[in-house]
């Protein structure tokens, strides 16, 4: 009879060792070992196989002990584990909430494309521009003007080129320090209607598709400069920008703002000036839009979609500083007198009029109608001057 436990017996013992059967399996193993020891005691001789069975029995005992230790250790620390799991979950819940707050949309297919939120802010900026254009152009054209924002979209440059007329009037401009060039596209019915208004007509020339000549462009230049001026004003509400008119072109294939597959942002306006109607499109390359969007995001005072740009909170020093460039009328009164109408009609060159002010008395200096200083008259070279003597404090001035 063999005294060695085979591999199947060991596996069956290990498989039976769960939380409820560990003690039972250990007892069975010990009984089996005791039986083997009894049988060994009956044998008169001990060979090598008996020694190996004893070693295997000791190994099995060690395995059982290690399993019992591993089973009992988590039970002793179960409360600590539960607390640790709660802290672990709380940590990742708070981190996930912070992550959600800072999450931004990212287009993996086109990583350079601006987000929908940036495009909305860009549209609001140009919605304010449309209202400024209405007021400025109405005064210049002396006619009713309507400029309505109808679309703001992001597309490839090749799609923009295909969307405009083959022959149109385009004004390419730069906005330093923003990179690249942008273009204002006018369809020909609108630009010829504006030209007709400037020449004294009513602007109802919808069927006229003639490209403006150099002389006609020179007539249109003040009108186009009004648009450049308003673009400059809009961008300068964000940062210091210089908008310059670079060139005019009538062939859309010579604009060349971006690569054919590059992305651009197109702002479209429906314009009515007198009886002239048409569409104006402003196309911006993506690098320019991205930099403008950065200033829009960092802007302290925001832009309202209806009322326009809301004023920021200025300090008292800023308000006083802004008043330094306001021109104020300053007057120095030499004297006054009363003259009858008959005497006034008899006045001739060389006559002397006596004033009610002594030549030795100080003169009064008024600023915006308020007496502020007393002064003494004098002369420097060929210029008459006054020297301020003292400040006059009154109830109206401080």
pTM above 0.85, yes or no: no
Cα angle for residues 87, 90, 91 (degrees, 5° grid): 85
Contact present, 183 and 268 (Cβ < 8 Å): no
Instruction: Tell me which fold the domain 116-317 belongs to.
Output: Chemotaxis protein chec (3.40.1550)
Per-residue pLDDT of the chain (398 residues; tens, 9 = 90+): 444 555 566 556 555 554 445 555 556 656 766 666 665 555 444 455 555 556 656 655 665 565 555 555 544 455 555 555 555 555 555 555 555 555 555 555 555 577 888 888 888 888 888 888 888 888 888 888 888 999 888 988 988 988 888 878 899 999 888 888 999 999 888 888 888 888 888 777 766 677 888 898 899 999 999 999 989 888 888 888 899 999 898 888 888 888 888 889 999 999 998 888 888 999 999 888 888 888 887 654 444 444 444 444 555 677 777 777 788 888 888 888 888 888 888 888 888 888 887 778 888 888 888 888 888 888 888 888 888 888 887 665 44
Interior/surface letters 43-76, b for 16+ CB within 10 angstroms, e for the rest: eeeeeeebeebbebbeebeeebeebeeeeeeeee
- Largest alpha-carbon pair distance within the chain? 169
The DSSP call for residue 44 is S
Quick one: which of 171, 160, 103, 152 has its CA closest to 289? Answer: 152
Contact present, 174 and 181 (Cβ < 8 Å): yes
Burial class (CB in 10 A: 0-12, 13-18, 19+), 360: exposed
The alpha carbon of residue 189 and the mean position of all alpha carbons in its chain are separated, in whole angstroms, by 35
Interior/surface letters 294-304, b for 16+ CB within 10 angstroms, e for the rest: ebbeebeeebe
Structure tokens at 319: 């308000």
- Taking the C-alpha atoms of residue 75 and residue 81, their distance in angstroms, rounded to an integer, is 10
Those residues with Cβ within 8 angstroms of residue 273's Cβ, 6 or more apart along the chain or in another chain: 137, 141, 143, 144, 145, 146, 190, 193, 194, 197, 203
Burial class (CB in 10 A: 0-12, 13-18, 19+), 84: exposed
Enumerate the H helices of 43-173 as residue ranges: 48-76, 78-101, 116-141, 157-163
Architecture of domain 330-391 in this structure: Roll (2.30)
SS (H, E, C) 247-271: EEEEEHHHCCCCCCCCEEEEEEEEE
Quick one: which of 330, 323, 316 has its CA closest to 367? Answer: 330
Structure tokens at 345: 């009609």
Domain boundaries, the chain: 1-103, 116-317, 330-391
- Taking the C-alpha atoms of residue 71 and residue 278, their distance in angstroms, rounded to an integer, is 83
């Amino acid at each position: 009879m063999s005294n060695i436990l085979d591999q199947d017996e060991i596996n069956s013992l290990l498989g039976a060792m769960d939380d409820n059967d560990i003690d039972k399996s250990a007892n069975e193993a010990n009984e089996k070992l005791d039986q083997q020891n009894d049988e060994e005691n009956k044998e008169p001789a001990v060979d090598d196989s008996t020694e190996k069975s004893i070693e295997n029995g000791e190994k099995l005992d060690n395995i059982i002990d290690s399993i019992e230790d591993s089973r009992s250790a988590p039970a002793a620390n179960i409360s600590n584990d539960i607390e640790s799991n709660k802290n672990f979950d709380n940590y990742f819940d708070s981190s996930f909430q912070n992550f959600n707050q800072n999450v931004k949309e990212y287009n993996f297919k086109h990583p350079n494309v601006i987000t929908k939120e940036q495009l909305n802010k860009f549209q609001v900026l140009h919605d304010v521009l449309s209202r400024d254009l209405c007021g400025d152009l109405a005064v210049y054209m002396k006619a009713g003007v309507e400029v309505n924002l109808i679309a703001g979209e992001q597309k490839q440059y090749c799609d923009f080129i295909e969307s405009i007329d083959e022959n149109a009037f385009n004004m390419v401009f730069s906005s330093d320090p923003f990179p690249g060039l942008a273009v204002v596209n006018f369809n020909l019915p609108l630009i010829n209607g504006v030209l007709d208004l400037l020449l004294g007509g009513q602007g109802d020339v919808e069927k006229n598709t003639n490209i403006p000549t150099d002389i006609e462009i020179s007539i249109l230049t003040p009108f186009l400069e009004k648009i450049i001026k308003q673009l400059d004003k809009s961008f300068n509400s964000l940062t210091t920008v210089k908008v310059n008119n670079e060139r005019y072109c009538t062939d859309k294939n010579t604009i060349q703002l971006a690569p054919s597959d590059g992305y651009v942002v197109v702002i479209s306006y429906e314009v009515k000036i007198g009886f002239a109607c048409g569409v104006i499109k402003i196309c911006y390359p993506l690098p320019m839009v991205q930099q403008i969007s950065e200033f829009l995001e960092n802007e302290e005072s925001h832009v309202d979609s209806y009322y326009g740009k809301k004023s920021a909170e200025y300090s008292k020093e800023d308000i006083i500083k802004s008043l330094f460039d306001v021109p104020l009328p300053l007057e120095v009164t030499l004297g006054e007198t009363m003259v009858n109408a008959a005497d006034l009609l008899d006045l001739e060159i060389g006559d002397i009029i006596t004033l009610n002010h002594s030549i030795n008395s100080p003169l009064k200096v008024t600023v915006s109608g308020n007496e502020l200083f007393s002064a003494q008259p004098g002369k420097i070279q060929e210029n008459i001057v006054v020297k301020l003597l003292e400040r006059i404090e009154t109830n109206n001035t401080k």
